[in-house]
Structure 1
């Protein structure tokens, strides 16, 4: 198996705020027909708040202690992330649960100057 450098230091996910990979719904230009048995297809991906339903449901099922542990762990790591990336991540938490995003944001703010600007 050849990996050819795995794109070096570029992120291997998208969307990202750097360069490299990016999402497109242009299936017609990227589809190469091949002979198959059965069904094959490509579908346009729609980004909606329902994408966060499972994370929100899980958060609501957690005990208060589990929620606090989760928020503390996430906040401890996010304090080391650049502000624009951190704000993007917090917006994802907001899609899952408003309390969840608020607690993460407040915990990061409590780190004060420790949090990356």
Structure 2
């Protein structure tokens, strides 16, 4: 197991390959979209689901999609469809908590968590 510590109170424990892929996805996502841009996308589409879409084998090609037609759902297989949490973007805007819950959803999806375990 590998540990990632981002803040003094935040510790993520996961197998090394998952940590590596998750960090690549997060890095590439935040290179493409700032946290503020992602939060604005969520706020502007608050009644729609927004997903991070990425392949485990190609984490540098990460995208965000807004599900206007309600045809997508959470998928922890390849490709990953990871729901972007809304709570800290719309209900209680807080960029730091939003970023943490987004990262947590990425780690959880890679660890094949059930949809109930994800942040919404």
**TM-score scaled to structure 1, two decimals?**
0.26
The structure with more strand, counted as a fraction of residues: 2
Q: Specify which structure has the higher proportion of helix.
A: 1
Structure showing greater Rg: 1
